Amino acid sequence: MEWPARLWLGSHVAGSASSATKAWQDKGYPPLRVAVNVAAQELRTHAIVERVQQSLAETGLDPSLLELEVTEGALQSGDEVVEVLEKLRSMGVRLALDDFGVGYSSLGSIKSLPFHRLKIDRSFIRDLQHDANDRSIARAIVAMGRSLKLEILAEGVETLAQLRILQDEGCDEVQGYLLGHPMLVEALDTQFPDRIARLPESDSQVIRFGRRVPSIGIVKK
């Protein structure tokens, strides 16, 4: 099978993420969840299901430690995308709706989709401590997520003030420069072992792989 370069890249990153995560686990790190961005084009073909299955089988990684992030725009591609997402979820892979709030998803469609979490777009977080409207939007997204039994993660958290507001609003997790900057995968072994070892077991530990460069950042609840 010949894949377009973009589809191959996304599947390759998912495979690399699975391999790296299992390798860290084998070194004695606590279980780390890996998040991989998935493009809309990848969800229009069942090839990504086969590739993820292959990667999980080859590495022996627990499927629940792999999370695939999908933007709202990808959901406009029709029933085929929903079918692919449902197959991925049935394998035990976690699914996240990325950059939520800036797309055109209806509440009716979201409640029927197989996501585990919503990620609040950073545009609503940037001025959170100064803009009452942004805080109201964040509060509404958290409340909606709760009602749909979804986990909520806020993107782009850079200040303690933002973190405290999100905690007050009941947000489950955050990611952003306040907690750590992206780094090359190879740097994890030299810069992060001590930090990971010190994280309490109750904290959520997430590794994020970027699309252009496999990079990571610890996301702590």
Cβ-proximal residues to 24 (8 Å cutoff; 6+ apart), any chain = 32, 188
Cβ-proximal residues to 132 (8 Å cutoff; 6+ apart), any chain = none
pLDDT in tens, 54-97: 888 988 889 998 999 988 877 776 778 889 999 999 999 999 99
Beta strands 117-120 and 151-154: pairing type? parallel
pLDDT in tens, 119-153: 999 999 999 999 999 999 999 999 999 999 999 99
Q: How far apart are CA 18 and CA 63, in angstroms?
A: 9
pTM of the full predicted structure? 0.80
CATH of segment(s) 1-108: 3.20.20.450
Q: Where are the domains of the chain?
A: 1-108, 116-204
Q: How far apart are CA 119 and CA 140, in angstroms?
A: 13
Contact at 8 Å (CB) between 95 and 88?
yes
Give the percent of the chain with pLDDT over 70: 75
pLDDT in tens, 174-191: 888 887 777 776 776 676
Q: Which CATH superfamily is domain 116-204 in?
A: EAL domain (3.20.20.450)
**What phi and psi, each to the nearest 5 degrees, are found at residue 142?**
-60, -45
Equal fold, 1-108 vs 116-204: yes
Average pLDDT of 210-215? Answer: 35
Mean confidence (pLDDT) of the chain: 78
pLDDT value, residue 7: 43
For residue 99, name the pLDDT band (cuts at 50, 70, 90). confident
Beta strands 173-174 and 151-154: pairing type? parallel
* Top-confidence range, 42-56, 104-118, 193-207: 42-56
Element (H, E) at 97: strand 94-100
Q: How far apart are CA 55 and CA 124, in angstroms?
A: 35
**What phi and psi, each to the nearest 5 degrees, are found at residue 21?**
-65, -45
pLDDT value, residue 17: 77
For residue 158, name the pLDDT band (cuts at 50, 70, 90). very high
Contact at 8 Å (CB) between 156 and 171?
no
pLDDT value, residue 10: 55
R_g of the chain, CA atoms, integer Å: 17
